Amino acid sequence: MAKKANNYILIGMPGSGKSTIGVLLAKSLGYEFIDTDLVIQQREGKLLKEIIADCGNDGFKEIEEDVNASIDANEAVIAPGGSVVYCQKAMEHFKEIGEIIYLQLSYESVEKRLGDLKARGVVLKEGQTLYDLYCERVPLYEKYTDITVKLDELSIGSSLEKVLENL
């Protein structure tokens, strides 16, 4: 079996700090930082919310799966969108190229941190609430994670320290 590439993939709910902690983690490790939502936006030439509006949730998920499953990196911290856990091919790819770190937050913390979900480009089904989304995704984050780091009530600096301690 080929040696796993030396990457860390951060998963978790929108607002869990994947991008913010990801940048700081990459700096502290001397790694590259890849925000796959930005890769998607660059490839499509549109903002996430525009892609979702134009292609619908299913179309967006296809693009998301394609982009995430084709990420080729070594010594990188990768921050995919929170909905990547619906993309089995992408998650299997991430398992092969690195360690998956689940940035875990309670529902109350997620709710506090998030503003307008539509503006953030969050994939919600018709009539789905943030709580519904949280309950749907948590088991998927837990299924794919190698390392779980609980971040409730922690500052960004403390969150980074806690992630580093768990590596």
pLDDT of 2: 47
Tokens of 74: 């070594």
pLDDT of 119: 67
Calculate the alpha carbon distances from 117 to 81, 124, 133 in Å: 13, 8, 11
Confidence of residue 24 (pLDDT cuts 50, 70, 90): very high
User: Residue written as tokens 């971040």?
Assistant: 151
CB distance 20 to 103 below 8 Å? no
* DSSP state, residue 4: P
Model confidence over 44-71: pLDDT tens digits?
Answer: 999 998 998 999 989 999 999 999 999 9
Looking at every residue in the chain, the average pLDDT score rounds to 91
Cα distance between residue 88 and residue 91, in whole Å: 5
Model confidence over 120-161: pLDDT tens digits?
Answer: 667 778 888 889 999 999 999 999 999 999 999 888 889 999
pLDDT of 157: 87
pLDDT of 155: 87
Please say if the pLDDT value at position 1 is more than 70. Answer: no
Cα distance between residue 167 and residue 165, in whole Å: 6
* DSSP state, residue 150: E
Single pTM value for the model:
0.92
Cα distance between residue 131 and residue 52, in whole Å: 20
* 32-35 vs 76-79, strand pairing mode: parallel
Q: What percent of the chain has pLDDT over 90?
A: 73
